[in-house]
Amino acid sequence: MQVLCALLLLSLLAACGQSGSEATANATPQADSGAAAQASANAADVEAKRTEHYELRIAQPDIDASYLPLLRAVSVYSGQTRDEFLGQVEAAKAEGYQFETPWSLELDMRTVISTEALVAVEASGYQFQGGAHAMPLQATFVYLVESKRMMTIADWFADEAVWSSISERSIAALKAELAPLMGEDDDTSEETLDAQAAQWLADGASADPQNFQLYLPQLNELGKIRGFQISFPPYQVAPYAAGSPSADIAAESLKDYLKPELSALFD
């Protein structure tokens, strides 16, 4: 009887061991499946396609699912950019255009600021449709987490006088940056700017809020806004060769014009 009980006990232990091994084996594919699903989800963040007529790549940013206004704004921008590009490709094909090289759309959208109070996404890339050079693509999206609000640069201010202040500081910064490009002598500064170039700059950075829409907050080590960086697309303030120059506007020059409820976000 003791022998029989021992044999039964050994059989039960073997069965349990086999069952445990099978459970482990069955769990392994599920773990692999989860990793594959995660990899697939990451891959889904990049839309890529190539045909004989065009190549397209759009990388979406990683945004918290609860930031619905920001998700919507980013999605609308990338969707419109893609649809306009593909529509232009189809129109060119219908007109019999000969694609010596494929047209290209490259758009990289990434989160550049992510704090408890503020999130910002920057979009950059280019669109090439033949010709001498590609045209850059640029956009910025700034989102206030607590109020669930997208912020254009105008949304920060209560006083229209801010635009004159931003304009003056932008023009001063851009003159120093662009003088070598606009002038005939790289060793001199704003004296090299001719009348046409100076007018171009004055118009492109004039006291109009539409001139400053391409902006990003700059944060200090405590996460407070220490200023705005304002970028200017090609041709807005200078020739294409100048790229997208930018001007840093310190918070000190903005505080007097802020909406009171937003002042706590600034240094």
Q: Which of 98, 123, 150 is the last residue of a domain?
A: 150
Residue 43, CA distances (Å) to 61, 104, 144, 265 in order:
12, 20, 28, 35
Strand 103-114 with 54-59, pairing: parallel
| pLDDT tens track for 171-215 | 999 988 886 555 445 554 445 547 788 899 999 999 999 999 999
Whether residues 89 and 188 share a domain: the answer is no
Amino acid at 94: A
* 8-12, 179-183, 220-224 — most confident range: 220-224
According to DSSP, the residues that pair with 258 across neighbouring strands are 157
Q: If you ran DSSP here, which 8-state letter would residue 157 be given?
A: B
Whether residues 138 and 224 share a domain: the answer is no
Whether residues 102 and 181 share a domain: the answer is no
Encoding tokens for residue 21? 């091994």
| pLDDT tens track for 65-96 | 999 999 999 999 999 999 999 999 999 999 99
pTM for the full predicted model: 0.78
Tell whether the torsion through CA atoms of 61, 205, 178 and 233 is positive or negative. Answer: positive
Q: Who wins on pLDDT, 43 or 206?
A: 206
Q: Is residue 185 part of a domain?
A: yes
Whether residues 170 and 127 share a domain: the answer is no
Whether residues 69 and 161 share a domain: the answer is no
pLDDT at residue 159, as a whole number: 95
217 SS3 class: strand
Q: Which of 120, 150, 180 is the last residue of a domain?
A: 150
Q: Which of 49-58, 233-242, 244-253 has the lowest mean pLDDT?
A: 233-242
Structural domain boundaries enclosing 110? 46-150
Q: Is residue 13 part of a domain?
A: no
Q: If you ran DSSP here, which 8-state letter would residue 244 be given?
A: S
Look at the chain and report how many structural domains it folds into. 2
Whether residues 169 and 95 share a domain: the answer is no
- CA distance linking residue 154 with residue 159, whole number of Å: 10
Q: Comparing C-alpha atoms, which of 79, 122, 129, 124 is closest to residue 106? A: 124
